[in-house]
Amino acid sequence: MSGEEYAIPSQPLPVSSRSPGKCIIFGEHAVVHGAPELAFAVDLHTQVLARSAPGFSLNADPHAAEEHPYFRTALARRWVGGTPLEVRSTSRIPQGAGLGSSASFCSALVAVLGAAQGGVDRPALAQASYDVEKAAQGVGSPGDTSTVAAGGYITINGAGGDHLWTIRGSERDWEVRRVADPGWVWVVAHSGIPRATGDAVRNVTQRLAQPDGPELLAEFARVATAGIRAVAGGDRVAVAELMARNQELLRTVGVSHPRLEALLEAAAPAAEGAKLTGAGAGGSIVVLPKPGQEVDLVRRLARAGGLPFVVRPSPVGTTLVGEPEL
């Protein structure tokens, strides 16, 4: 394949890219242990620009190449030759909200580094973005990085849909597929409570090591499998029930939070379905609004102290800025 045929084509520096965020509908945490997950890329973006410079910097910070975990790891793994780069990054994705800000940054950064070194195809972009995020974070699945790299609705270890690629991990592989967008609008509300994904993942891993862990994991998998089928079939009633069941499971493994429960309660009158999204223990909830009640829902969530916003799926994953959308 020549550089021009890659999804991220060859381009000399300076190079700019953009990458969406993500929102998980079913299966967070359980996906780390091999269960299915459904997520979509959200229309909030990170934009990254890289150019040659006398020394390395990220947003004018000259220490980032040693200190910023994702930047340092991406340069070490994906920047052969190591000539100095000035990188700028701006994002509309709130940090620590469970909307994939780190995955979005990793994928956008790997894309500019790949473009400057001859181009990269999308499966390789997804694998490299996962490798960087995992190495910097220590734990986790490729759900976030593959969703932002691909765009649209994505399943990890799900059945049905079109197979996109396989992500290789040290302990297991993950199958990544695309499912049809049902055309729904979702509302996310950030609790304002920050949390660390790595800590939440490690706590759930410990919880799942208890005697009832395998049974819980099987139930997570059952709910996500049914949820993927319900979203693909446009069945909102089934999706709502399954979101409630998924939330119960997340509560059982200890990643809900009183602020998230308060937001879920506030949303209820205008919501068909709702649950936490992402690592939990803070972060955000995702709500499937009752049709026509989106504005009422946003008001209720804001009154309850959340930071609500309407999110739409981004059908396009990571791209270079200025190129035609692939």
Q: Which residues bind ligand PMV (CB under 6 A)?
A: 28-29, 31-32, 98, 100, 140-141, 143-144, 197, 201, 278-279, 283
Q: What span, in angstroms and rounded, lies between the C-alpha atoms of 190 and 243?
A: 18
Per-residue b/e over 98-127, b at no fewer than 16 CB within 10 Å?
bbbbbbbbbbbbbbbbbbbeebbbbbbbbb
Comparing CB distances to ligand PMV, the nearer of 31 and 41 is 31
How many whole angstroms separate alpha carbon 109 and alpha carbon 4? 19
For ligand PMV, give the closer residue by CB, 133 or 272. Answer: 133
- Give 12-52 as a DSSP string: PSSEEEEEEEEEEEE-TTGGGGT--EEEEEEEEEEEEEEEE
What is the chain's Cα-based Rg? 19
87 vs 93, beta carbon nearer ligand PMV:
93
**Closest residue to ligand PMV in the complex (CB):** 278
Question: Least CB distance from residue 25 to ligand PMV, whole Å?
Answer: 12
CB closer to ligand PMV, 120 vs 201 = 201
Separation between Cα atoms, residue 72 and residue 94, nearest integer Å: 21
Smallest gap from Cβ 265 to ligand PMV, in A, equals: 21
Nearer to ligand PMV, 176 or 201 (CB): 201
For ligand PMV, the closer CB: 224 or 239: 224
DSSP letters for 193-229: ----HHHHHHHHHHHHTSTTHHHHHHHHHHHHHHHHH
Write out the two tokens for 84.
Answer: 């100095």
**Residue number, 231 or 286, with CB nearest to ligand PMV:** 286
Nearest distance from C-beta of residue 140 to ligand PMV, angstroms: 3
Distance CA 70, CA 87 (A): 13
Nearest approach in angstroms of CB 284 to ligand PMV is 8
Least distance (Å) between residue 260 CB and ligand PMV: 12
Q: With respect to ligand PMV, which residue has the nearer C-beta, 152 or 282? A: 282
In whole angstroms, the minimum distance from the beta carbon of 197 to ligand PMV comes to 3
Q: Token pair of 19, please?
A: 């990458």
Shortest distance in whole angstroms from residue 264 CB to ligand PMV: 17
Q: How far is CA 9 from CA 130, 131, 235, 325, in A?
A: 20, 21, 39, 12
CB 243 within 8 A of CB 288: yes
214, β-bridge pairs: none
Report the nearest approach of ligand PMV to the CB of residue 146 (Å): 10
